[in-house]
Structure 1
Amino acid sequence: MNQAQIVESEGLQPLLRNRNYMLLMGSQLVSNMGEWLYIIALLTLVGLKWQAAPWEITAMTLCMAIPVLIGGPVAGWIGDKYDRKKIMVISDVVRAFILIGVLFAGNLIQIYILLIVKGLMDVLFSPAKSGKIKEIVDPKHIDQAVTISSSIEQMSKIIGPSLGGLLMALFGIQLCFIIDAGAFIVSALFLLGVPGRKLLKQKGLIGESPNEARSGQDTQKKSFFKEIGEGLQLIYGMPLLLGGVVTICAVMLVLQMADSQIVTLFRLIPDVSDDLLGYCISASGLGTLIAAMFVRKLSWNTLAKMGVGSVAAGLVFAVCAVVVVIEMPHLLQSVVLFGSFFLAGAGGGFVLVPFQMLLMKRTPEHMTSRVFGTVNSLTSGAVIIGPTLGGALVTGMGPVPTYIVAGLGTAAVGAALLLCKSRIERKDEDFAARSEGLMVPETSTI
């Protein structure tokens, strides 16, 4: 066994023996699979059974995204102030009841209301989970912990849609919602085995946060809005985090312009197979999964990985647009598109996973939920704006130019990051020096 394998084994085995972390990942696996089942069942119910108009389906997407956009910072504050385990359990239980409520919904207005409430529970769960990882995982194993969590998300993206289609074919749409509700209950049961913040403090596994250490009078002096804004202040104050956040938002914006119009692009393929779109989406998830598993082993630093990933994903998306309009055998065209989406997903993994590792490592435990909640809010804004711009570009120019513009735009973001990388890192080192060594600069590896 070589030195790298020894380090890998020593780093991974303690994490796999961490009962609290494995319970948390079990909860994530069940809920992620249930989430994809719910999305497939809901789109089938509304889009096929109820024959909803395109703008009505778009409204569904907005109902899911707007709570994250508006509520991210507040949800992060709640996650830092209160017991994260209780927040996640309550969120799971409420989401289970919401999915049961979908069975009794008779029109789209009721669906929209249920989606907004569920979105509020989703936005509470995500930053609380990120903060919980920080609570229960040794700092030496944070990279591995983020890798496993990201891999679970991508496996769910690959397996979930196919499993959802199979279950609907076997049992029908209504039973799928019941199964999904049960998945959230199982997720909550996993979480019950994870110790809460109070027990972790009693065992000396975590210390008191600055807020807890202050007296009651001092705590009251800090305004509610100032506490919520501390997540954004922390990001703005660290050049490395700020550069990563700006990059991730820009990449999400331009990629959403393309992703939202993927159907219009595939319509240009003569006699296109009904399964090709699903295969390409799965290929994208597979590429991201493989990238998540191996990106940590590269010796590049975070900004280099994000920059290269952005350039690669953008160029591949632009190539997809060209492949669609070039005359070639259908089998060859399908293989090229499958491979292109795989590479695009891998490029996306090089952007997302190192950024999540960086965010987790550089954020103090008592502010983790606020920082992740703020980032979720910013990226949700890109998710909302991107499809709107994409629709406008497709209407004005057509799907092929839109994909080329979005792809080259993504590549340009990555190239700009690579050009500014050294300057951002120098500023980050200066920030670390001013912080008297409280923050460790990253100049070589994650």
Structure 2
Amino acid sequence: MRRTPQLLQCLRNRVFARLYFAQTINLIGDALTWVGLALLAFELAGKNAGVILSGALTLRVAAFVLLSPLAGAIADRFDRKRIMVVTHLARMVIISLLPFVTQAWQIYAIVFGLNVFYAFFTPTYTATIPLVTGPNEYPQAIALSSATFQLLGVLGPGLAGGVAAFVGARQVFFLDALSFLIAGVLIVTLPGQLRVEQNQSARTVSRTWQDIREGTTRLWTDPPIRYALAMQLVASITGAQILVNTVSYVQGTLQLGKVEYGWVMASFGIGATLASVVFGNFNQRLPRTTFVAIGATLITIALLPASFASLIPLLLLWLVAGAGQSLVNLPTQTLIADRIPTDIQGRVYGAHFAWSHLWWAFSYPLAGWLGIHFIGQTFFYGSLIGLVLLVAIQFTLKPQSSSSVPAADGLWHKHEHTHDEAHQHDHSIDTFTHQAHSHLHFHTAPHGSTQSS
């Protein structure tokens, strides 16, 4: 009997398998959405369709940055299955409005509404993966989800384009709505509730704001997660160069066509998919932060000679860059599952989703500015910026080996205390540590003893 590949072994978990297939159908729906939007924008604005699409992408990122932290906090307090079902049904209704659009502003309103619910769905889904899988399964489960995302990023637009050509640009949105309905039904069939145990304190605006703030605090106070999040800035700056300026380089500088541009972007997606598979199978061999450093180096170095590359070298460089992108993003998600207690992972994943998209909100305009002012050398200068940041982060934020102890091996709690030799930890500058005080802090328990961290 052939042994199941390690990356696919997590599908033996029936709850995760159903959740995974729902997400896969959801991703197919997303491909239909953006291909349909591109065709609809061209129908409404002709050559100015890019203006509509860029505005839609800006609204998408804005929704993620503004609402994902709140979504993560809610995911920690309520039934995640219900949240995912509601967001799927809401998107089904909203997407069904697109066939009736007649003006550009209607596209903006619908896209923003669509991504409001997407901002609530994604952190909830990501935080649910460690909840329904065991400690030996979730790295593979996260990697499999990412590999599927990358693969459909390559195949999805082609599939969606074929469907749109067959049924019509506007009618494709009804199929899109159907995909959200099917995914929602799959999630409904999951057994029981998907919620974490919480201290059932009264929900107030102050408490919700505290949960949101805690998600960001955990990102920036945990050394390995902080390092990985900073490296995602490097990956977003270099990745934005690829997403924004490749079309101008291939069709403008190299004087090639749309087909060759498709090959180059497919190479980027294939590299990301292969790296996801490699990480899923070998993630226990190296520390997560080592994967992050390798990934950031790969995508940055791949850009350095790209401004002087012909088609074949560019295909190879973008394959390497795609691998680098995945090797930064995947370990970052896994680090959160490794180091953050289960009952607060939702708010941390929500904060991470917001911060990582904020990096892109800076990176897209930078890529556009470089594309205008450094025609022909855009990738070279983008790579230099990435290299400077990479070196600075490596020297200032690289975690010490001792900080790799997972945070899940201890206990976050709050009590009144004073500091003595056995109880030391960092505070903000406005805390008087010689006095009795109370705040949320973490105890680790290495080798059977309890210490403060």
TM-score range (shorter-chain normalised) is: 0.7 to 0.9
Relative to structure 1, is the Cα distance of residues 280 and 102 closer, same or farther in structure 2, using a 3 angstrom cutoff?
A: same
User: How far, CA to CA, are the matches of 2:19 and 2:444 in structure 1?
Assistant: 32
User: How far, CA to CA, are the matches of 2:173 and 2:234 in structure 1?
Assistant: 35
Query: Following TM superposition, by how much is the alpha carbon of 1:109 offset from its aligned partner in structure 2, in angstroms?
Result: 0.7
Partner of 1:401: 377
Partner of 1:343: 320
User: How far, CA to CA, are the matches of 1:423 and 1:125 in structure 2?
Assistant: 31
Secondary structure at 1:82 match in 2: coil
Q: Which one of the candidate residues 333, 337, 361 is aligned to 1:384?
A: 361
Task: Say if 2:276 is the partner of 1:292.
Answer: yes
Relative to structure 1, is the Cα distance of residues 196 and 73 closer, same or farther in structure 2, using a 3 angstrom cutoff?
A: farther
Query: Could you state the TM-score of these two structures normalised by the residue count of structure 2?
Result: 0.84
Which piece of structure 1 moves more, 417-426 or 118-127? Answer: 417-426
1:50-65 matches, within 5 Å, as 50-51=45-46, 53=48, 54-65=50-61
Q: Is the 8 Å Cα contact of residues 95 and 173 (structure 2) preserved in structure 1? A: yes
Query: Following TM superposition, by how much is the alpha carbon of 1:67 offset from its aligned partner in structure 2, in angstroms?
Result: 0.5
1:65-144 matches, within 5 Å, as 65-144=61-140
Relative to structure 1, is the Cα distance of residues 116 and 322 closer, same or farther in structure 2, using a 3 angstrom cutoff?
A: same
Relative to structure 1, is the Cα distance of residues 196 and 417 closer, same or farther in structure 2, using a 3 angstrom cutoff?
A: farther
Secondary structure at 1:384 match in 2: helix
Partner of 1:280: 264
Secondary structure at 1:163 match in 2: helix
Relative to structure 1, is the Cα distance of residues 360 and 47 closer, same or farther in structure 2, using a 3 angstrom cutoff?
A: farther
Relative to structure 1, is the Cα distance of residues 7 and 194 closer, same or farther in structure 2, using a 3 angstrom cutoff?
A: closer
Query: Following TM superposition, by how much is the alpha carbon of 1:124 offset from its aligned partner in structure 2, in angstroms?
Result: 0.5
User: How far, CA to CA, are the matches of 1:354 and 1:288 in structure 2?
Assistant: 13
Query: Following TM superposition, by how much is the alpha carbon of 1:234 offset from its aligned partner in structure 2, in angstroms?
Result: 1.4
Query: Could you state the TM-score of these two structures normalised by the residue count of structure 1?
Result: 0.85
User: How far, CA to CA, are the matches of 1:91 and 1:429 in structure 2?
Assistant: 36
Relative to structure 1, is the Cα distance of residues 12 and 175 closer, same or farther in structure 2, using a 3 angstrom cutoff?
A: closer
Q: Is the 8 Å Cα contact of residues 130 and 368 (structure 1) preserved in structure 2? A: no
Letter matched to residue 320 of structure 1: A
Letter matched to residue 346 of structure 1: A
Stretches of structure 1 lacking an aligned partner (at least 5 in a row)? 324-332, 441-446
Letter matched to residue 385 of structure 2: G
User: How far, CA to CA, are the matches of 1:305 and 1:418 in structure 2?
Assistant: 13
Letter matched to residue 38 of structure 1: T
Provide the aligned C-alpha RMSD in A: 2.7
Secondary structure at 1:173 match in 2: coil
Stretches of structure 2 lacking an aligned partner (at least 5 in a row)? 411-424, 426-441, 448-453
Secondary structure at 2:97 match in 1: helix
Partner of 1:410: 386
Query: Following TM superposition, by how much is the alpha carbon of 1:148 offset from its aligned partner in structure 2, in angstroms?
Result: 1.1
Q: Which one of the candidate residues 299, 302, 321 is aligned to 2:307?
A: 321
Relative to structure 1, is the Cα distance of residues 8 and 272 closer, same or farther in structure 2, using a 3 angstrom cutoff?
A: closer
Query: Following TM superposition, by how much is the alpha carbon of 1:272 offset from its aligned partner in structure 2, in angstroms?
Result: 0.5
Q: Is the 8 Å Cα contact of residues 311 and 413 (structure 1) preserved in structure 2? A: no
Relative to structure 1, is the Cα distance of residues 236 and 373 closer, same or farther in structure 2, using a 3 angstrom cutoff?
A: same
Q: Which one of the candidate residues 417, 422, 437 is aligned to 2:444?
A: 437
Partner of 2:162: 166
Relative to structure 1, is the Cα distance of residues 139 and 428 closer, same or farther in structure 2, using a 3 angstrom cutoff?
A: closer
Letter matched to residue 305 of structure 1: F
Partner of 1:354: 331
Superposed CA deviations along residues 313-348 of structure 1, whole A, max 9, x for unmatched, are 11112222111xxxxxxxxx3322222211111111
Query: Following TM superposition, by how much is the alpha carbon of 1:413 offset from its aligned partner in structure 2, in angstroms?
Result: 3.8
Q: Is the 8 Å Cα contact of residues 238 and 428 (structure 1) preserved in structure 2? A: no
Partner of 1:330: none
User: How far, CA to CA, are the matches of 2:45 and 2:254 in structure 1?
Assistant: 29
User: How far, CA to CA, are the matches of 1:271 and 1:261 in structure 2?
Assistant: 14
Superposed CA deviations along residues 190-221 of structure 1, whole A, max 9, x for unmatched, are 10111343xx68xxxx6x22x33x5x4xx669
Q: How many residues align?
A: 413
Q: Is the 8 Å Cα contact of residues 91 and 114 (structure 2) preserved in structure 1? A: yes
Query: Following TM superposition, by how much is the alpha carbon of 1:183 offset from its aligned partner in structure 2, in angstroms?
Result: 0.6
User: How far, CA to CA, are the matches of 2:326 and 2:16 in structure 1?
Assistant: 22
Q: Is the 8 Å Cα contact of residues 255 and 406 (structure 1) preserved in structure 2? A: no
Task: Say if 2:358 is the partner of 1:372.
Answer: no
Superposed CA deviations along residues 53-112 of structure 1, whole A, max 9, x for unmatched, are 243332111121111011111111111111111111111111111111001111011110
Partner of 1:305: 291
Q: Is the 8 Å Cα contact of residues 234 and 296 (structure 2) preserved in structure 1? A: no
Relative to structure 1, is the Cα distance of residues 269 and 228 closer, same or farther in structure 2, using a 3 angstrom cutoff?
A: same
Relative to structure 1, is the Cα distance of residues 142 and 279 closer, same or farther in structure 2, using a 3 angstrom cutoff?
A: same
Query: Following TM superposition, by how much is the alpha carbon of 1:292 offset from its aligned partner in structure 2, in angstroms?
Result: 0.7
Q: Which one of the candidate residues 3, 15, 26 is aligned to 1:20?
A: 15
Secondary structure at 1:267 match in 2: helix
Superposed CA deviations along residues 252-311 of structure 1, whole A, max 9, x for unmatched, are 134214422222222333440221111111111111111111124152211221111111
Misfit runs of 4+, over 6 Å: 5-8, 430-434
Identity of aligned residues (%): 20
Relative to structure 1, is the Cα distance of residues 59 and 220 closer, same or farther in structure 2, using a 3 angstrom cutoff?
A: closer
Which piece of structure 1 moves more, 252-261 or 187-196? Answer: 252-261
Query: Following TM superposition, by how much is the alpha carbon of 1:6 offset from its aligned partner in structure 2, in angstroms?
Result: 8.7
Q: Which has the higher contact order (CA 8 A, sep 6+)?
A: 1
